[in-house]
Amino acid sequence: MNPLKLYCYSKAPSHDEGQLNRISNNLAENNTHKSKVNKVFIDVSAHRFTADIIKRHSTNQNDIREVALKELDLSGCRNILELGCGFGFFTEALKGKVHPEAVVTGVDIIEEYETFFLEACKKAGMKGRFCSEGSSVVNKIEGNSFDLIICSYSLYFFPEILPDISRVLRERGVFIATVHNKQNMEELGNFAKEILISNGLLNRDEKLPIEIFVNSFSSEIGHQLLPPWFKNVKAITFPNFLVFEPIDMYSLLEYFRFKWPFLFTSTPAKLGRVFDLFEMNLQKYFNSPSKNFTISKDDTIFICSQPLHNKKSR
For the chain, domain boundaries? 6-184+217-245+297-308
**Between 210 and 280, the higher pLDDT residue:** 280
Whether 185 and 259 have beta carbons less than 8 Å apart is answered as yes
Q: Is the pLDDT of residue 7 over 50?
A: no
Complete edge-to-edge strand list for the sheet that includes strand 79-83? 6-9, 230-238, 299-307, 169-180, 146-152, 79-83, 103-107, 127-131
Q: What is the mean pLDDT of residues 140-168?
A: 94
pLDDT on residue 264: 74
- Residue range 167-190, pLDDT digits in tens: 999 999 999 999 999 999 999 999
Model confidence band, residue 155 (pLDDT cutoffs 50, 70, 90): very high
> Where is mean pLDDT largest: 24-28, 99-103, 196-200, 268-272?
99-103
Residue-averaged pLDDT of the chain: 85
Q: What is the mean pLDDT of residues 203-210?
A: 82
Whether 313 and 167 have beta carbons less than 8 Å apart is answered as yes
**pLDDT above 90 covers what percent of the chain?**
62
| Residues constituting the chain | 314
Pairing status of strand 103-107 against strand 79-83:
parallel
How far is residue 90's CA from residue 103's CA, in Å, rounded to a whole number? 14
Q: How distant, in Å, are the alpha carbons of 40, 206, 244, 292 from that of 289?
A: 34, 33, 14, 9
- Residue range 70-92, pLDDT digits in tens: 989 999 999 999 999 999 999 99
Q: CATH number of the domain at 6-184+217-245+297-308, out of 3.10.105.10, 3.40.50.720, 3.40.50.150, 3.40.50.2300?
A: 3.40.50.150
How far is residue 114's CA from residue 167's CA, in Å, rounded to a whole number? 26
Q: Is the pLDDT of residue 137 over 70?
A: yes
Q: How distant, in Å, are the alpha carbons of 23, 74, 117, 126, 303 from that of 70?
A: 31, 10, 23, 20, 11
- Residue range 122-135, pLDDT digits in tens: 999 999 999 998 88
Q: Is the pLDDT of residue 139 over 80?
A: yes
How far is residue 277's CA from residue 271's CA, in Å, rounded to a whole number? 10
pLDDT on residue 12: 40
Stated pTM of the model = 0.85
Q: What is the mean pLDDT of residues 8-33?
A: 46
Q: What is the mean pLDDT of residues 261-269?
A: 66
Measured from the Cβ of residue 1, the count of other Cβ atoms closer than 10 Å reads: 3
